[in-house]
Amino acid sequence: MQGLINIVRLAVLALTLLVPLSTNAGPGSIPEGFQVVEARGCRFVVRPANSEVVRELVTTCTDGADRIFMQLDVARDTSNMSPAPIEVRIVSEPAEMALVVPEGAAPPAWSHAVAYPEWDMVVLPLRHRDGRPVEDLDIVLEHEISHLALRLALQGKPVPRWFSEGIAVIQSEGTSLNRSSVLWWAAFTDSLKPLREIERYPESHTAVTLAYAQAADFVGYLLREEGWFSVRVLLRYMRRGSTFEEAFESAYSRSVPQMEKRWRERLTGGWGWVSLVTGAGAIWGAITLLFILAYISTRRRQRQRLAQMEEEEEPIERLIGVIEKLEERAPDPRLRKNLTTTTGAKKSVVEIDGKIHTLH
């Protein structure tokens, strides 16, 4: 349950807001109190007190971003910093986002991480609105970089939200046992949503999680069927002027509804359940199950051993009880002396009527 809560929090945090921009708006100058830290592929704008975070995110801006751009067939000549390096503006609290966003493009009051594709900019708070530190900052940043790279690959042309979010989730997180569980339950309860409905951010955490699970799994299905090659073909057709629907059909030889129908059949019917239980997420689930079974087995052996020890101790306890009764009833003080030590503690070896008895 806790894992499901965490994935909901991460999904909500990773929502990318393509904020409407004024034609005269610009990225703005570096706010007072912030410094610039250059890294290959990224320019970090951060307060000195938070500069240690940069070290954690440099790999994301190098190897992670290179992989994301390559998968989408976007040139990234980092030697000449072209295209322009990604600017990551880091703030401590979500309330500070208004200080670093481009002029005229303030994010909504409820927003979290925000991407501004027009300027290759990401604004990244280090804490949630309730004060909790954001975990997996590298995943959040990769998610946002995916949106920037996709916009560059499309030259600004629009695509359905399920496509952009699905690509971003796959590129930043890959497979997930939690998402697989959510998707399995939705398929089991017949509560899957049509992909065309994933165009607005859902209001509830449950709906957010299901939307992300569906988008990611459908894009994952496309990748399992055709790989990144067909994704790049789709993007090329769109750059040449095709609509998304036209480009999709050219790349996959089927329309979106036809591919969605096939995907749903694999989820809800016959052997389609195999795709939910044989993915990488299910492998981690199997490993978790093995650990649980091993723990249960160990606990069972411990209980059996304790029961065995208790059975072995019963005769000793009975013998001690007999000795204590004899000690109380013994008329001869010398017998008491033999039964007890000078301090009153029981001996491990006692003598009664000239016979030696050993306590184990």
Query: For the segment 292-347, what is each residue's pLDDT rounded down to a tens digit?
Result: 566 566 666 666 666 666 665 666 666 667 666 666 665 555 555 554 544 444 44
Domain segments of the chain: what residues? 14-19+28-154, 157-166+173-277, 287-358
pLDDT above 70 as % of the chain: 62
H helix runs in the chain, sequence order: 2-13, 52-59, 65-71, 97-100, 137-154, 161-172, 177-188, 205-239, 244-252, 256-268, 273-277, 280-329, 333-339
- Return mean pLDDT, the chain: 76
Over residues 111-123, mean pLDDT? 85
Give the pLDDT of residue 237: 97
CATH number of 14-19+28-154: 3.40.30
Rounded CA-CA distance 115/110 in Å is 15
Q: Residue 260 is encoded by which pair of tokens?
A: 């969605």
pTM of the model as a whole: 0.67
Q: Residue 125 is encoded by which pair of tokens?
A: 């708070």
Rounded CA-CA distance 48/34 in Å is 7
Rounded CA-CA distance 154/242 in Å is 11
Over residues 115-132, mean pLDDT? 88
- The label of the residue with tokens 């029981």 reads 346
What digits encode the pLDDT tens for the residues 245-294?
999 999 999 999 999 999 998 887 644 444 445 454 454 455 555 555 66
Q: Residue 250 is encoded by which pair of tokens?
A: 């050219």
With a CB cutoff of 8 Å and minimum separation 6, the contacts of 123 are 89, 91, 97, 100, 101, 107, 113, 114, 115, 116
